[in-house]
Chain A
Amino acid sequence: MTTVVVISAGISVPSSTRILADSLGTAARDHLGEQASYDVIELRDLAHLITDNALTGFPTGALADAVRRVAEADAIIAVSPVYTGSYSGLFKMFVDVLEDDTLEGKPVLIAATAGTARHSLVLEFAMRPLFAYLRADVVPTAVFAASEDFGAGSVRGGSLSARIDRAAGELADRVLRRGTTLPDDPFENPTPFEDLLNNGPF
């Protein structure tokens, strides 16, 4: 069973970010085959808990559950609206909640929506470096959708759907090569003390 977790930071309901998120999730599932499923985390629903986490340092309730789902996912699709020239503040606050190593080596597809195509490089100049910092395995194709991309016919027609399909294919390819992995649990498998004593980074 392969699980893709889609993080959607859209605020309005309905949101074009969520439409893009679902399209990407569906495409990834199609590429991964029958055993795959995708699962959407709507950050709007978690906004208050995310703020509490920023102030207290720990996630609770539905946010704790979302953090666990991200950690256990085989791949992540991260979709944010563009606000003020970058990913949204809420999107970044959620990423800040994740432990530093949560996304290490994990296949990630990045995507964004905006009112105009002039923002398209936000994916390359803001979102990709963010996930590079977290040592995620970000696929080469990033999917940007401006309002006009939703205009001429359905999302699945035209070049946006071609980009979605290519990106989802790249993501599926990484997942299949990597196999299913779970993060190390330092509480289950602590570093033995002798190693802590002797293996400081000299």
Chain B
Amino acid sequence: MQFGIFTVGDVTPDPTTGRTPTEHERIKATIEIAKKAEEVGLDVVAVGEHHNPPFIASAPTTTLAYIGAQTSRVILSTSTTLITTTDPVLIAENYAKLQHLTDGRVDLMMGRGNTGPVYPWFGKDIREGINLAIENYALLHRLWREDVVDWEGRFRTPLQGFTSTPRPLDGVPPFVWHGSIRSPEIAEQAAYYGDGFFANHIFWPASHTRRMVSLYRRRFEHYGHGTADQAIVGLGGQVFMRQNSQDAIKEFRPYFDVAPVYGHGPSLEDFMRETPLSVGSPQQVIERTLGFREYVGDYQRQLFLMDHAGLPLKTVLEQLDLLGEEVVPVLRREFAALKPAHVPDAPTHASLVAARDAQPPLVEEGLLEAGHATEGTRA
């Protein structure tokens, strides 16, 4: 199982001091946080994409390339890539380039974004959100898999004899997750392609996440990619820890109370009960996180939101120490002990290359179908 962090790149005043970091400080902090994530043994660093204040999350591949140059092991991902308003040709090029530069340490999470004006700013119609996500990804999927693409759709100028460069590293496109808080269409899309499905998880109750993941798993099996419990699931999470749980609650509460998204609303205690937010001791975070498996099944990727709501860099780095030293090693061991052998790990570049090379290319389709008919023949 993979563990990591995801950020939305918000520039938020620290409510305990009133100080707002500069964009420069926040951008540099993002790099420090990513390097720390690798140092403490996490597997994934995902950065968001926004095109408006108070975020510093534009140009995600620039950020990821810079992180990639200063790390050697951590997988670079997105949370999310705006598949609706970004030209799929640019996504194909940018992330294939990033794949080469980082020797395959790249995957992506597609999302539709939640800022209405982004659509008109990029010349799109928000009412077409789902249709944009579907058509743009269909094109991106082909650009990474076919050397020469002829294409015509509704939302961008047609392509004749177009080759997206560079071609994906080793001829294997980056693995893609589709992220959604609440759209069943996106779970359906992830299932259709056999891609990963990432449930944001942190802003809504567990009962909702369970429905989304269950739909994705059922449809993943329907489309013949394996059994439902072999589908590739990722979850968000949100934690704040101190050795003494009361210290954690006392320190985090002022940040929670005025945080973007849910601030000035439910109490910290109510929000902890209704959503996966865990504020307490490392042991409490471990127990809560292990509980996610009870309603989504064995899953492949757990990302934590650690650096939002104005938390100072120093605190975030301390949190990552706790996460990497006390929480993740236990979670790794416990989740691994619970996971049945036929449930796969999250795909990586190496595993995707190996899977591709294991199949004679000309009869690939036939093999896949044989694999569907009798479970386990591919193993």
Contacts and interface: CB of A to CB of B under 8 A. Distances in A.
Interface of A: 51-52, 54-58, 60, 64, 186-187, 190-193, 196-197, 200-202
B203 interface: yes
Contacts of A52: 265-266, 270
Contacts of B135: 197, 200
B214 A187 contact: yes
Contacts of A54: 265
Nearest to A61: B274
B265 A56 contact: yes
Interface in B113-135: 128, 130-131, 134-135
A200 B266 contact: no
Interface of B: 128, 130-131, 134-135, 138, 154, 184-185, 187-189, 191-192, 203-205, 208, 211-212, 214-215, 219, 223, 261-266, 270-271, 274
Nearest to B187: A190
A57 B261 CA distance: 9
Nearest to B264: A55
A202 B154 contact: yes
A187 B215 contact: yes
Contacts of B138: 197
The secondary-structure label for the interface of chain A is loop
Contacts of B263: 55
Nearest to B189: A193
A187 B205 CA distance: 16
5 contacts: A55-B262, A58-B203, A190-B187, A190-B215, A200-B134
B8 to A, nearest CB: 16
Nearest to A55: B265
B355 to A, nearest CB: 23
Contacts of B203: 56-58
A179 B226 CA distance: 41
Given A52-B265, A191-B188, A58 B130 contact: no
B264 A191 contact: no
Given A58-B204, A190-B184, A200-B154, 13 more contacts: A52-B266, A56-B265, A56-B266, A58-B203, A187-B211, A187-B214, A190-B188, A190-B215, A193-B191, A193-B223, A196-B185, A197-B134, A201-B131
